[in-house]
């Protein structure tokens, strides 16, 4: 049928198709090849109109005439285009190569064909060598190539393997409609290519139609992206996400990924990496801990003679991922340990001098406080409805309970407590003499001291006042610690540690007994008829307590700081004696002339 196309000069050119009628037989059963002269072909003979030009300008050579002849046969899905055969070759007596058209249901609708399927693009030569897809690691042998293409094809193994690889690649990429490489079309007959395609479809089946559709969709998407990017560059288009091709957010959000969430993820990953690094360093630090402890033992000879070796042992470290609580406690335990402590540089005289200085300073401050303290008015007190003695004693008890809870429940506070709330004979810190007076590590120790403080302290507070009571409590506690440290340093027991309010409590008991030295003391829970019998004067009670301390010191091996108790008894006795003498002097000074003259 006639086909009119526009040429460069604007005049139509006519295409005439010659159709040879078949004998009416079904072509599908004959491998799409007709008998002898019954083949079907179309020759488009295009003679461009030259307009008013001279006829001598038209091509006259046979080569030029043959270049205007094209084989035009219908294109079918899953087949090789007949255009790769080039011009009609009249030298071979056989019929031209032709593919059988498929049914209408199998053909690809022309409405969804890609623009790259057009003739002008498909006829362009590609300078890049097409290697295709190898069917197997080992190349096909000569016998296998002959079996595939036929022995008459005379195709070398190299060319046969190349043809199979290229055809398989075209099948996978959906590019069977494009021209084959020129080296294949020049050296291989169409019938051989057809045999190769039949063999591939039989031994390596795949959906060629789906591959072609995927390729067309892929090309259309690329072209669409190209136009969109161009429109974006020209300012004609701007996506909601800010730029074309930007990553979508969660649930395909067009606004893109959240910068804050991305930053958070990076920070979380960095923190996890740091935690893992610290965890590994923690687990690997056990050997370093042993080396530090051994170095400390070699540097400090006093620790080598220390009997309680359990305190100097390195315990196995817990894995933070498996036992996080124990690992956390162990970390703070190691943090509170002085690994670089060098006690060999201190002499006994230097140790005693350090604790003596803080003891004298404490005595001076307590003396100034007791002489200048003035009790606040009832309206100015924190607890105006609570008696002053009870308020003072409860404040001291609360402080001791608070420090006790820090020992038991707050490992981060261990570093502070180890330095300033416990005394160490090998390396005495000055402030530890004050802090240990408010420090306890066991419930029994705390309960016993606080009970005695309540019953004795409240009565003594009412008698001597808050200023004297607080000065006596703190000064006697420091003096008891000083006594204990001095004795242990001189005896060479540098590995001992001590804490507790026992020295201050002993001083309060001694002061109460000496202030009432001639009065009888008894136990309040005894029946009245027994209290007269089971009673003793104050100075006798104090003497019995001191004697009991000495007896326990030489007979028991319990870890009790008897020297701190004795120091407290001594401090309380001396203070009560001085207090009574001062009160006597004040009484004499305050007498009238009549009392001094007639009553004395």
pLDDT of residue 379: 87
User: How far, rounded to the nearest angstrom, does the alpha carbon of residue 214 sit from its chain's CA centroid?
Assistant: 43
pLDDT of residue 23: 36
User: How many Å from the N-terminal Cα to the C-terminal Cα in the chain?
Assistant: 160
Q: Where are the domains of the chain?
A: 112-249, 259-335, 346-373+385-591
C-alpha distances in angstroms, 334 versus 222, 312, 331, 413, 432?
64, 12, 5, 12, 20
Q: What is the mean pLDDT of the chain?
A: 75
For 150-205, give the DSSP string.
-GGG---HHHHHHHHHHHHHHHHHT-TTSPPPHHHHHHS-HHHHHHHHHHHHHHS-
Residue with tokens 């009991």, as numbered in its chain: 548
pLDDT, tens only, 251-298: 666 566 677 888 899 999 999 999 888 888 877 777 776 776 666 666
411/535: higher pLDDT: 411
Q: How many Å apart are CA 154 and CA 163, to the nearest integer?
A: 13
Q: How many Å apart are CA 469 and CA 461, to the nearest integer?
A: 6
Q: How many Å apart are CA 19 and CA 14, to the nearest integer?
A: 16
State the average pLDDT over residues 559-587. 90
Q: Kind and range of the H or E element at 547?
A: helix 538-555
pLDDT, tens only, 379-400: 888 888 999 999 999 999 999 9
C-alpha distances in angstroms, 222 versus 172, 360, 389, 427, 496?
19, 91, 92, 80, 83
What residues contact residue 211 under an 8 Å CB cut-off, 6+ apart?
A: 171, 172, 173, 174
Q: How many Å apart are CA 563 and CA 483, to the nearest integer?
A: 6
28/425: higher pLDDT: 425
pLDDT, tens only, 97-122: 333 334 333 444 444 444 444 444 44
pLDDT of residue 242: 54
Per mean pLDDT, which range of 40-44, 131-135, 492-496 is the poorest? 40-44
Beta carbons of 85 and 70 less than 8 angstroms apart? no
Q: How many Å apart are CA 485 and CA 436, to the nearest integer?
A: 12
Beta carbons of 445 and 404 less than 8 angstroms apart? no
The yes-or-no verdict on residue 1 having pLDDT over 50 is no
The yes-or-no verdict on residue 470 having pLDDT over 60 is yes
pLDDT of residue 518: 85
Beta carbons of 401 and 449 less than 8 angstroms apart? no
User: How far, rounded to the nearest angstrom, does the alpha carbon of residue 308 sit from its chain's CA centroid?
Assistant: 40
pTM over 0.75: no
State the average pLDDT over residues 518-541. 78
The yes-or-no verdict on residue 76 having pLDDT over 50 is no
State the average pLDDT over residues 353-358. 94
State the average pLDDT over residues 17-24. 36
C-alpha distances in angstroms, 529 versus 321, 461, 540?
67, 30, 21
Residue with tokens 């019938």, as numbered in its chain: 191
62/258: higher pLDDT: 258
The yes-or-no verdict on residue 490 having pLDDT over 70 is yes
State the average pLDDT over residues 242-259. 63
Q: Return the biggest CA–CA distance within the chain.
A: 171
pLDDT, tens only, 198-210: 999 999 999 999 9
The yes-or-no verdict on residue 177 having pLDDT over 90 is no
Q: How many Å apart are CA 126 and CA 120, to the nearest integer?
A: 13
pLDDT band, residue 44 (cuts 50/70/90): very low
pLDDT band, residue 168 (cuts 50/70/90): very high
pLDDT, tens only, 570-582: 999 999 999 999 8
Beta carbons of 75 and 177 less than 8 angstroms apart? yes
Question: Using H for helix, E for strand and C for coil, what is the string for 44-61?
Answer: EECCCCCCCCCHHHCCCC
State the average pLDDT over residues 32-59. 36
Angle between helices 190-203 and 142-149 (to 10 degrees): 100
pLDDT band, residue 152 (cuts 50/70/90): confident
State the average pLDDT over residues 423-452. 94
Domain range 346-373+385-591, CATH architecture: Up-down Bundle (1.20)
3-state DSSP assignment of residue 489: helix
């Amino acid at each position: 049928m006639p086909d009119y196309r526009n040429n460069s000069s604007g005049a139509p050119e006519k295409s005439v198709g010659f159709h040879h009628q078949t004998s009416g037989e079904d072509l599908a059963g004959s491998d799409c090849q007709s008998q002898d002269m019954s083949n079907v072909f179309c020759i488009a003979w295009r003679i461009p109109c030259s307009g008013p030009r001279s006829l001598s300008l038209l091509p006259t050579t046979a080569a030029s005439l043959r270049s205007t002849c094209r084989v035009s046969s219908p294109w079918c899905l899953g087949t090789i285009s007949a255009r790769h055969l080039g011009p009609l070759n009249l030298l071979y007596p056989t019929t031209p190569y032709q593919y059988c058209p498929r049914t209408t249901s199998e053909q690809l609708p022309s409405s969804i064909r890609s623009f790259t399927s057009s003739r002008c693009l498909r006829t362009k030569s590609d300078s890049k060598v097409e290697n295709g897809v190898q069917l197997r690691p080992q190349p096909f042998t000569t016998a296998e190539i002959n079996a595939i293409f036929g022995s008459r094809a005379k195709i070398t193994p190299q060319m046969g393997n190349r043809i199979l690889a290229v055809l398989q690649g075209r099948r996978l990429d959906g590019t069977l409609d494009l021209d084959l490489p020129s080296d294949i079309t020049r050296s291989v007959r169409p019938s051989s290519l057809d045999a190769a395609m039949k063999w591939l479809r039989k031994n390596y089946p795949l959906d060629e139609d789906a591959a072609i559709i995927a390729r067309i969709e892929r090309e259309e998407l690329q072209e669409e992206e190209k136009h969109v990017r161009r429109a974006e560059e020209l300012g004609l288009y701007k996506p909601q996400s800010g730029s074309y091709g930007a990553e979508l957010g969660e649930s395909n959000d067009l606004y893109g990924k959240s910068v804050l969430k991305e930053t958070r993820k990076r920070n979380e990953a960095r923190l996890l990496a740091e935690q893992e690094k610290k965890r590994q360093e923690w687990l690997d630090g056990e050997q370093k801990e042993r080396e530090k402890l051994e170095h400390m033992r070699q540097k400090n000879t006093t620790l080598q003679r220390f009997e309680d070796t359990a305190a100097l042992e390195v315990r196995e470290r817990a894995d933070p991922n498996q036992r996080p609580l124990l690992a956390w406690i162990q970390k703070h335990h190691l943090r509170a340990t002085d690994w670089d402590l060098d006690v060999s540089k201190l002499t006994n005289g230097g140790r005693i001098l350090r604790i003596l200085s803080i003891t004298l300073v404490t005595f001076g401050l307590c003396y100034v406080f007791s002489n200048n303290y003035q009790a606040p008015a009832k309206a100015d007190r924190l607890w105006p409805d609570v008696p002053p003695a009870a308020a003072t004693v409860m404040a001291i008890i609360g402080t001791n309970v608070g420090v006790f809870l820090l020992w038991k429940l707050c490992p981060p506070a261990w570093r502070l407590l180890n330095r300033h709330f416990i005394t160490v004979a090998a390396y005495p810190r000055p402030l530890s003499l004050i802090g240990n007076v408010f420090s306890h590590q066991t419930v029994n120790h705390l309960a016993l001291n606080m009970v005695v403080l309540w019953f004795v302290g409240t009565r003594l507070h009412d008698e001597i006042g808050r200023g004297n009571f607080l000065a006596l409590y703190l000064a006697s506690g420091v003096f008891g610690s000083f006594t204990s440290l001095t004795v242990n340093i001189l005896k060479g027991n540098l590995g001992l540690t001590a804490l507790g309010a026992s020295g201050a409590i002993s001083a309060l008991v001694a002061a109460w007994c000496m202030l009432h030295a001639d009065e009888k003391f008894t136990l309040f829970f005894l029946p009245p008829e027994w209290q007269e019998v089971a009673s003793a004067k104050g100075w006798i009670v104090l003497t019995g307590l001191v004697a009991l301390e000495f007896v326990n010191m030489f007979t028991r091996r319990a870890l009790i700081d008897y020297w701190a108790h004795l120091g407290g008894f001594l401090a309380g006795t001396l203070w009560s004696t001085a207090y009574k003498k001062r009160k006597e002097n004040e009484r004499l000074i305050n007498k009238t002339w009549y009392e001094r003259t007639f009553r004395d």
